[in-house]
Every structure is written in C-alpha cells, then in structure tokens.
Chains A and B, each alone.
Chain A
C-alpha cells in the first residue's frame, strides 16, 4: 500500500528563519516518484519538485532544498530564510503511474 505521512500539521516561524517540512512515505514499489506541492489560499497546486526513486541526490533551488533518503523513506523539504509569501499548505506526494497519494499537508505560517 502507498502512504505518505506529514506529521507536522502546522508550523509557525518568524520571517528569515529556516524551516524544514518532514515527509515519510511507504511503498513496495521499486520505481516511484516523490513530489512537493505548494497550495496557497487560492487552492491551486504549485509544483515544486519531482524526484524519482533512483535519484537520491539532494537538490537546491534558490531558498528551497530537498533531502531524499531512501534508507529512511524520507523526503524532507527545507526553506531557508523564510518569507511571508512562503505561507501556504505544503503537500508531499508519492506517485506510481501518475496516481498520486498525498500526505495530509503541513500548513506553514511565516510571520513578519
């Protein structure tokens, strides 16, 4: 069975703080994809990153970075020097043949 767990329901930080959003997944598949999406109050899903199960290289994109560790089945997301515009709900997702399994989401509040 596929499962994604985001244990942090809500996180509040002050602007310029670093914050890490945790994601743990379960799957029996050897080939799969992991994603992070941002969902602002307007509702649309904003794609942030896609990782396949064979690529454990960490990735940095501006203030965003991702740490993928197959050994612990984790795919954590760090925002460096957070900004108020980062406030949103962030979803981690696992995909197999493009059927997505979403975590419950982490609401990030960045206060000025």
Chain B
C-alpha cells in the first residue's frame, strides 16, 4: 500500500509553546488528509479534514485556532498545536486519501505522533 509518513514520532514540549506535526504522502498525491486524536486507552477521534489549497473543516468541538492545519501541497499537511497545554498531550494520527487502482479511494495512516506537554 501507499506510504504516509508522520514526523516527529514523539515530541515533548513546554506548556505555552507551539508544536508542528507533519504528515507526508510519500508515493502518491493526497488531495485530502485527515487528522485524528487518540487519548490514552481511548479510540481515535476525527479532528479535521484537510483539503489541499483550502481551509480545513473541523469537527464539532475542535478549536480551529488551537489546532492549525495547513495543506499547502498535495503531499504535505501540517498540524500545529498552538500554546500547548498538558491537556493537549495525546497521540495524533494523520490519514491521507489516495486513488486505488480499482478507481475507489483508499486511506492510509501515518505512524502517529505522541505529544507530551510538560
């Protein structure tokens, strides 16, 4: 399957600072990328849908000013957690949509980024 790379795999930052997470589709172009958040021992929850060249669509309850998403190219989307606080500590996973040989679209997940805010 296609490869989606997330960077960094883990990051520790101080409260009040901002952290940027990158999601790259390595061998395909992704017009749409998705960002998920997973709290410890919980399921993955969709945060936002990111479309190349346009503003992201955020799910209800997700603060768009806190979680800035940029999808500037067909292979890169970034999630910036601004003014991070300990409650933002979580596992963040991105997903990129690709066209499959069958003509259907498929989604591929990055390996995730574990953010710890101290």
Residue numbers of A with Cβ under 8 A of B are 37, 43-45, 47, 50, 52, 91, 95, 97-105
Give the docked Cα–Cα distance between A25 and B2 (Å): 27
Give the docked Cα–Cα distance between A47 and B109 (Å): 9
Residue numbers of B with Cβ under 8 A of A are 1, 32, 34, 36, 42-46, 49, 91, 93, 95, 97, 104-112, 114
B91 touches A43 (CB 8 A): yes
Give the docked Cα–Cα distance between A52 and B95 (Å): 19
Q: Shortest Cβ distance from A90 into chain B, in angstroms? A: 11
18 CB-based A-B contacts, threshold 8 Å: A37-B109, A43-B114, A44-B109, A44-B111, A45-B112, A47-B108, A98-B34, A98-B95, A98-B107, A99-B34, A99-B49, A100-B34, A100-B44, A100-B46, A100-B95, A101-B46, A102-B43, A105-B43
Residues of chain A with a CB closer than 8 A to B112's CB: 43-45
Residues of chain A with a CB closer than 8 A to B114's CB: 43
Give the docked Cα–Cα distance between A11 and B74 (Å): 41
B44 touches A102 (CB 8 A): yes
A104 touches B34 (CB 8 A): no
Give the docked Cα–Cα distance between A43 and B46 (Å): 16
With most chain B CB atoms within 10 A of its CB, the pick from A37, A43, A47, A98 is A98
Give the docked Cα–Cα distance between A47 and B46 (Å): 18
Q: Shortest Cβ distance from A52 into chain B, in angstroms? A: 8
Q: Shortest Cβ distance from A1 into chain B, in angstroms? A: 12
Query: Which of the residues B42, B91, B106 comes within 8 Å of A50, measured between beta carbons?
Result: B106
Query: Which of the residues B42, B46, B93, B97 comes within 8 Å of A45, measured between beta carbons?
Result: B93
Residues of chain B with a CB closer than 8 A to A97's CB: 105
Q: Shortest Cβ distance from A33 into chain B, in angstroms? A: 8
Residues of chain B with a CB closer than 8 A to A103's CB: 43
Residues of chain B with a CB closer than 8 A to A37's CB: 109
Query: Which of the residues A47, A91, A95 comes within 8 Å of B43, measured between beta carbons?
Result: A91
Give the docked Cα–Cα distance between A20 and B109 (Å): 25
